[in-house]
Every structure is written in structure tokens, then in C-alpha cells.
Amino acid sequence: MSGNTRLEGPSPQGTGRVPGLRPPAGQSRGKLVFLGLCLVLIGLNLRTAFSSFSAVLTEIRASGTVPEWAVALLTTAPVTLLGLFAPLAPVLSRRFGSKRVLLGAMVVLTGGLLVRPTEWGSAGHLPGLIVGTALCGAAIALCNVILPSEVKQDFAHRLGLMGGLYTTAICASAALGAGFTYPVFQATGEWSAALLFWAAPAAAVVLLFAPVAVRAPRARAGADHGGTNVWRSRVAWHVTLFMLFQAMTSFSVFAWLAPILRERGIDGASAGAMVSVSILLQMLGSLFAPTLAARMWDQRGINVTVALMTSLGFALSVLGPLEFVWVWIGLLGLGQGALTAVALTMIMLRTRNPHTAVHLSGMMQGVGYGVGSLGTLIVAQIHNATGQFALAGWAFLAIGVGAVTFGYLAGRRRNVDAAV
């Protein structure tokens, strides 16, 4: 494999910048601030589809609307779709421009959130849940891939800051979905109304971002031709496998942490609050991890540390003494937020231009989320086979070993692309 060129010097201490990268020419400070706000708000809508479903999963099951096979499908398929649609993002970005693709994806996400809770006559809610979930997964996949390259392109002089802000927004999105969906259900008495609620903030972002995206120039034809073939880079595979093991844990937490806690005897409101606190701590970890990672000579230490925290926190939430559950939730939250953030930050720190960044992002999220969806499936199959979640705790200790190994390899100071 090729592309193992070492970085040529540390980033300036205290800046979180990549050497030689400056603010884009012709961009006023006000326009950059507004663009940054839009990117953060997009991030704020990228996990509510997952965590909101999990928050009312017990009520959906109790309603008899969704059979058990569909529960496994609806908790696994979204992450699989993230993997399936991620490779399309670089192609669409090259053809239409990244900002237009982001806008289109947010329109599709809004549509998916509107369709998901609808009732389809005698067929009930199941078709709407499946179609809406598919639309949401496809849209989120495109946003996931393009956001890091947008940060690389327009905020290369502030990678640590913007990387922290948008990954924190993604964590906040999960927290909002987990924390507010159940109260909306309690207020309305309808789980469908609780899911429908999340279409409103997505639609608001579409309206806010539309003028920016429409005025953005289209990508120049052939702009990214001749770039590094990330699929042949050892460094790219290390980063991708780090993302894979991160995804196996992260999306299992989004889908199953609340049901796990409720099975252990914790009531729905308390379980939702615990998940929300965990994800709020994720926000804290994700806010500081990218800046810290960008300031370091290499990222081996931080990658290994946060992978260990996440694996142990999740396993102990399943297996540990219930009287210390808040400790396990805190360890999981801080670790998972930082783990997700540093995995995404690797896209920016291991590439030298936005074109390579979007291709690496497509690769790592395509493979990472596509195969990483097995995490949610593993938990579902364990529960179906044993009637409990205990074995899942041991499974995620093993997954943590993979995250530690490839976090160490991805953290070495090497670049995917050889071009200076």
C-alpha cells in the first residue's frame, strides 16, 4: 500500500491548525461565522433520528405496531445505510458542489422525519417507519461525509475549533433526541407525535442554509482528479478501521443503552435522563478532543485512552453494579464523545486538501458505518437468543480491543496523501 508519508512538522502550538493552511480568499469574517453556524446546526440534526426512536422503543413495542424482526431492522438499518450511501457523497459533491449536496440531504432528512411516524392505512405504521428511516439514513450519510471536508475547505485555519463545535453538535443532537422525545410522548400520549416533533428543527435548518448553498459555486470539473487513491493507503485503512470499531460501539449505545437500562429495572424517564446525561458528557468530550488532538505531535495516546474509556463504560453499564450506574454512564459519555470526535478529526489531520479529505471521509464512513452497523445487530441477536443483554457487555469489551489497536495505528504521525 502507498501513502504513508510522514507529516512535515508539528502544527503551531495552541492553534489547532494544519501548517500552511489559511482562511479561504474572499471570505469575510461575517460570512464564515454564518457558514460555521449553519454547519453546526446541520450537525445538531444528525442523530435525533436514531436516539428519538430508541427513547420510545419500549412504547412502540408495547403498541404491537412493530414486530420483533422489524425492531432489529429499524435499529440496524440506519447505520447500514450510513455505510451504503457514504461513497456517493464524493461523487455528488464533485458534480453539484458540497454545499448544495448538504442542502439536498437536509431536505431529504426533513422528508424522512415527516414520513417516519405516518400511518399507512391497514398496513399501520410499519411502512412509514421503514421508508422514513431509509430516507433519514441516506441523508445523514451524505452529511456525515461532507461536513469534515467542508470544515477542511473553509476552516482549515481553525480545524480544532470547528472540529470540536460540529462534533459537539452531533453529540448534542443525540442528547436532544434521547432527552426530549419521551417527555413529548408523555405530553401527547402518542409515540408517533414524539417522533414527528424532530422534523421541525430539520426544516428550520433547511430554510437557514438554503441561501448559502444556492449561492455557493459549483465544483470545478476535474477538480479532484489526480488525487491520492485512499483505498490503497495503509494510513487510510488504519483510520477507517478505527472508525469502524468506534461506530460499532457508538450506534449500539444510541440504539440500546436506554432499553438496557430499562431492562435492569430503571424506569423510562430515568433511563432517558441517564442517556441524556451521558450524551451531554459526550458533548464535553467532543468539544475539547479535536483541539487537543490537533495540538499533539501525534494522536496515539488520546486515541487509546478514549477507546478504553468508551469500551469499559459501556460494558460496565451492562454488567457493573447498578448502584454505580452514574459512574459508568459518566465514563461512557466522556469517552464516547471524545472517541467520536478524534475519529472524525483524523480525516482532517491525515489529509492535506479538501478533495482527499472527502474521499477519505467517504471511505472511512462507508466501511466504518457499513460494517459498524453489525454492532447494533450483535446486540439485537444477543438479546433475541438469550433474552437479556449481559453477553453484549463482554462483546463490547472485545470490540474495545479493536478500537485501541487501530486507534494507536491511526494516531501515528503519517499522512494519507503525499502531496505537499
Per-block average pLDDT, block size 10, for the chain (420 residues)?
41 41 61 92 92 86 83 77 86 90 96 95 90 94 89 79 84 82 92 95 97 80 58 92 90 81 84 81 85 89 95 92 92 92 88 83 85 80 84 89 95 73
Say how far apart CA 405 and CA 395 lie, in whole Å.
Answer: 16
> Residue 414's beta-bridge partner residues?
6
Helices (H), 9-56: 29-43, 48-55
Q: Identify whether the C-beta of residue 248 lies closer than 8 Å to the C-beta of residue 398.
A: no
Return the pLDDT at 366: 86
Burial class (CB within 10 angstroms; exposed 0-12, middle 13-18, buried 19+) of 295: middle
> What is the predicted pLDDT for the residue at 420?
34
DSSP conformational letter for 66: S
Cα angle value 110/112/115 (rounded, 5°): 110
Task: Return phi, psi of residue 286, to 5°.
Answer: -75, -25
Yes or no: say if 347 and 364 are a contact pair by the CB < 8 Å rule.
Answer: yes
> What is the helix (H) or strand (E) element at residue 371, kind and residue range?
helix 354-372
Residue 168 Cα distances to 123, 163, 294, 361, angstroms: 39, 8, 16, 18
Q: What is the pTM of this model?
A: 0.76
pLDDT of residue 16: 43
